[in-house]
Structure 1
Amino acid sequence: MTTKLSLANLDKLPAKVAAPGYKRESLKAGILHFGVGNFHRAHQAVYLDDLFNTGGGHDWALVGAGVFEGEKAGRAKLAEQDWLTTVVEQDEGHMVARVTGAMIDFLVPGETEAIIDRLADPAIRIVSLTITEGGYFIDPASGYFNPEHPDIIADANDPDHPKTVFGLILAGLVRRRDARVQPFTVMSCDNIPHNGRVTSDGVIGLARLFDRDLAEWVAGNVAFPNGMVDRITPATTDRERNILAADFGVDDNWPVFCEPFRQWVLEDNFTAGRPALEKVGVQFVPDVSPYELMKIRILNGGHATIAYPAGLMDIHFVHEAMQEPLVRGFLAKLEHDEIIPTVPPVPDTDLEDYYQLIERRFSNPKIGDTVRRLCLDGSNRQPKFIIPTIAARLKAGAGVAGLALESAFWCRYCFGTTDSGSVIEPNDPSWERMQATARAAKADPSAWLAMEDIYGEVGRSPAFVEAFSHALKTVWDVGARETLTRYLAGKL
């Protein structure tokens, strides 16, 4: 017998499921959030729920928003349960469930006027984002905003009817400026380097295309704090829904399963105030750069390191990849030989301790994170998580054999079959292009590195071209397993 999640049933939840310690009717909207997915509901929403449980911050509740048709399905699932979410934290020997109530509304994705009206509401003092790496219109090669993207050009030509998140933000800011209402802070919670600067570049860059005065006003009046976010949060499947029902007696349309670990390091730069999140574990710092570089290179680079060889070896779950000595060994060797040496010192942090923590988190057998999820969207992720590390090694005149092998595994994965011959279903927004290029690279490895928008100068480096070509040829000749065996033996 399960209890259907809803406001009416909060007092009927099983005793082992924690419910909000505050009354939902006491909450008032203060944050509008674009991108209501699993990570947001396991991270920002949990921190806010913790704050509300202390009795404070009740005027900082969340309102969800989106721009894509596909987001309506998630909204419908949450609407059926009054915007509540069950969050299950688990690792070996630890599994707890809680219901969070930090979100009090979710605007219909694509209903532009309703979203702009809410953005113009003085009560909304922060607009936050988890729109994934691909949502920022970044040119992968340069790392900067691409003003020539068709969606951006469309918004610039018709700013009163925006279709992008940046266009909606600008429309809301225009209304606030014209009404002499203090602008909101724009706070990215996405896992990208310098996410505040990247968001600022996008919003201001779009404004420059149609109203330079507006661009200058935004630059002078709107805060875009940088932040580092971290929590491993896989996608929800029937597996998670069934575990929640069987182990905790809760029927939730869209629960979130995640690891117990979470981290949020944030620059204290806000236009119109902020919730007192330091009371619930958020680190406010003058400069988030050292923390985000550490995380992006060691954790996200580590994810990429294990993802593609594991995918080629038909390994399904991330913890299973870590149980494979060759994959675990590849991660340890590449991290210690090539990745960690590019990470500058981080305040109050031992990099080796941080790496050991990452190893334990990747090995968590309870999360159910999939190798396929780690392999997703390489065309956007590799330029952020791997290629800058290659560039740093090349600049220092250091070796890149392991990083070249990681790139070779990615290329081989994009060919579209595993070493056993199983078909890899499309797993990148640019899959057709990536697959075609990977197939050309089988005979001519330089074809892969010629993707200028992804590799840039790295793809023209003779040292990297040589290392990548040798690695890719080896992967094709002997397969991922034997290639890793040779690499770990120092014979690649």
Structure 2
Amino acid sequence: MNHRLNQQQLKRLPADIILPQYDRSQVKAGILHIGTGAFHRAHQAVYVDDVLALEGGDWGIVGSSLRSKSVAEQLNPQDGLYTVLVRDSARLQTRVIGSVLNVLYAAEQSEELLDTLANPSIKIVTLTVTEKGYCHDPATGNLLINHRDVTADLQPNAIPKTLLGWLCRGLQRRKAAGFTGLTLLSCDNLPNNGRVLKKVLLQFSQRVDPALAVWIEKSVSFPCSMIDRIVPATTEEDRLFAAQTLACRDEGLVVTEPFSQWVIEDNFIAGRPAFEKVGVQMVSDVTAYEEIKLRFLNGAHSLLAYAGFLAGYQYIAQVVAQENFVAAVQDFWKSEVLPSVYVPLDFDIDAYQSQLLARFSNSALRHKTWQIAMDGSQKIPQRWLNTLRSQLASGGEITWLVFALANWIRYVRGYDEQGQVIDVQDPLALELRDLYRQYDKNYPKLVQGFLRLEQIFDVDLVDNERLSMALAEQLEHLAVDGVTVCLGRLLGK
């Protein structure tokens, strides 16, 4: 099948395919998105597509990629068009999204990307660059000033490598042209993501030009947001299915679940789309929603990913098909997560937990445990450690948090319970592997070695005797008995 999805192909698609409900030729760019991966295309770009269909406006998206050319190669030959395939056991929906106008690849289009950041028609820059893209210390929120790419970006006239470098240079150009400011909207899984972004960008820009830092403080807003939709990696099998459905190839296809949520702090300095009309929750404070999502959904997801992978399961749906894993997650939520969060009065936390289990059970998504396990050193401070601190301070239960951490430590050693090598994807992968090998079966020293990793753990956890003893004991049990036996033991079975 040689034909690619593009604007001309739209009129030839089968009648049951949902198409953009607006004239794309009349849409101008008002949003720049940095990190145009699968999640953005299945989440923020869909909401913008809904706004354009509802009331139009100049809110088209210019996408950009800082690391890979693949998204530009997928979408630009397709006029920015791509398909979102929504799947669960009872539903299949195929929808073409038209809100992305084109995609820039930073390494080859640096001037165009900087000019776009400086263009006064761009009112909002949205970001999905993952936790590690902020070049920050997850424990303190401060800029990693000794990060190799940060150091390079701070050199005069450097072509940026980091998100912060691109933002700083683009805003510098915008300021020099005398244009107004804009909104930088983080859509990554970080607590207080807007404030994290503001902190590191100001620290970075202060070193580039103190006057620029002052201008950013006055002219740029940094709303926090909470995003939620499960988007597994697209497979070749998915693409073949879509090609049969569309009768043409779509290299930009993304696959996702029916559920989608976006909560945004309503703090836009240069205007915004009517997000509230298409299901986005615009609020004054995102914190409660953010903490619930990070600790309930993301916390459980990571627990299931590490323990499930080591137990031999490739997909999350396979893990939650096991009775003991479901019981573990339910007890984790009840005894450790729920006591640590504030739940708004109008939020049905019981229904939320039931909904999460149903989403995890969606076998149509084929969400890999390995994919969720990526970049654990960047994720677990937000997903587990704040809950852990709360429980330690109150004397509450930490059984499942310890189990989760122990499984993560076993995972990053680089081989599974059958001795097969694990492709550990993490910025600290080599350091974590070598640390495990250094101490091997001396579990108390192994625990202290991990807890002293300042990039992950803060000083308050290093000297906590209760945590250290429980973690060393659990690591020994996992080494001797494996995940499945340990899980049953913790459940009293």
TM range (shorter): over 0.9
The residue aligned with 1:429 is 427
Shift of 1:2: 8.8
Corresponding residue to 2:327 among 316, 326, 329: 329
The residue aligned with 1:11 is 11
1:409 aligns with 2:407: yes
Distance 1:206 1:340 in 2: 37
The residue aligned with 1:179 is 177
CA deviation map 1:256-307 (0-9, x unaligned) = 0000100000011111100111110011000001110110000100101111
Shift of 1:246: 3.5
TM-score (structure 1 length as normaliser)? 0.96
Shift of 1:141: 2.5
The residue aligned with 1:144 is 142
Stretch deviating more after TM superposition (419-428 or 470-479): 419-428
The residue aligned with 1:46 is 46
Code of the aligned partner of 2:41: R
1:458 aligns with 2:477: no
Instruction: Find the residue that maps to 1:452 and give its secondary structure.
Output: coil
Distance 1:200 1:347 in 2: 30
Contact 1:5 1:250 in 2 (8 A): yes
Corresponding residue to 2:476 among 470, 473, 478: 473
The residue aligned with 2:75 is 78
The residue aligned with 1:295 is 293
The residue aligned with 2:117 is 119
Code of the aligned partner of 2:299: G
Contact 2:13 2:246 in 1 (8 A): no
Code of the aligned partner of 1:375: A
- Within 5 Å, which residues of 2 pair with 1:140-289? 140-158=138-156, 161-289=159-287
Contact 2:141 2:200 in 1 (8 A): no
Distance 1:161 1:93 in 2: 49
Q: Which runs of 5+ in 2 are unaligned?
A: none
Code of the aligned partner of 1:467: A
Distance 1:20 1:374 in 2: 31
Corresponding residue to 2:370 among 372, 390, 394: 372
Instruction: Find the residue that maps to 1:454 and give its secondary structure.
Output: coil
The residue aligned with 1:107 is 104
Contact 2:22 2:56 in 1 (8 A): no
Distance 2:451 2:139 in 1: 12
Instruction: Find the residue that maps to 1:18 and give its secondary structure.
Output: coil
Contact 2:75 2:102 in 1 (8 A): no
Stretch deviating more after TM superposition (83-92 or 434-443): 434-443
| Identity, % of aligned positions | 37
- Within 5 Å, which residues of 2 pair with 1:91-102? 91-102=88-99
Contact 1:441 1:448 in 2 (8 A): no
The residue aligned with 1:484 is 487
Code of the aligned partner of 1:118: T
Contact 2:316 2:367 in 1 (8 A): yes
Contact 1:294 1:346 in 2 (8 A): no
The residue aligned with 2:36 is 36
CA deviation map 1:324-358 (0-9, x unaligned) = 12222221111211112111122521222211111
Contact 1:16 1:248 in 2 (8 A): no
The residue aligned with 1:442 is 440
Instruction: Find the residue that maps to 1:235 and give its secondary structure.
Output: coil
Across the two proteins, how many residue pairs are aligned to each other? 487
The residue aligned with 1:61 is 60
1:2/1:163 CA distance change after superposition, 3 Å: closer
Stretch deviating more after TM superposition (24-33 or 389-398): 389-398
CA RMSD in angstroms, aligned pairs only: 1.6
Code of the aligned partner of 2:66: V
Code of the aligned partner of 2:100: M
